A = this chain, B = another copy of it.
Amino acid sequence: MTAPLGVGIIGVGLMGADHAERVAGRVAGARLVAVADRDTDRADALAARFDGVRRITDPLDLVADDEVDAVIIASPGFVHEEQVLACLEHGKYVLCEKPLTMDSESSLRVVEAEHKGARRLVQVGFMRRFDPEYARMKEVLDSGHLGRTLLLHNIHRNKSVPDPSFRSEMIVRDSLVHEVDVARFLFGEEVTEITVLSPAPTSAAQQGVLDPQVALFRMEGGAMVTSEVFVNAQVGYEVRCEAVAERGTVTIGQNLAGIHTTRVAATGPSTGSAPGTWGGTVPGDYRERFARAYDLEVQAWVDASRRGERVGPTSWDGYAATAVCTAGMESLHTGEPVRVDLADRTALPG
Contact = CB atoms under 8 A, between A and B. Distances in A.
A109 B218 CA distance: 40
Given A200-B150, A270-B160, A249 B235 contact: yes
Contacts of A259: 133, 136-137, 140, 250-252
Interface stretch (A114-122, A281-289, A318-326): A281-289
A269 to B, nearest CB: 7
Instruction: Quickly give the copy total for this chain.
Output: 4
Interface string A125-139: 000000011001100
A27 B30 CA distance: 10
Interface in A264-283: 264-266, 269-270, 273-283
A203 B270 contact: no
A346 interface: no
Nearest to A22: B28
Interface stretch (A100-108, A164-172, A226-234): A226-234
A334 interface: no
B230 A244 contact: yes
A265 B238 CA distance: 15
Contacts of A260: 250-252, 254-255, 279
Contacts of A333: none
Contacts of A247: 204, 234-235, 263-264
Closest 5 CB pairs of A and B: A279-B279, A200-B222, A235-B276, A257-B257, A256-B256
Given A2-B51, A133-B259, A254-B256, 12 more contacts: A159-B270, A199-B224, A214-B224, A230-B244, A235-B247, A235-B278, A247-B263, A255-B278, A273-B284, A277-B281, A279-B280, A292-B292
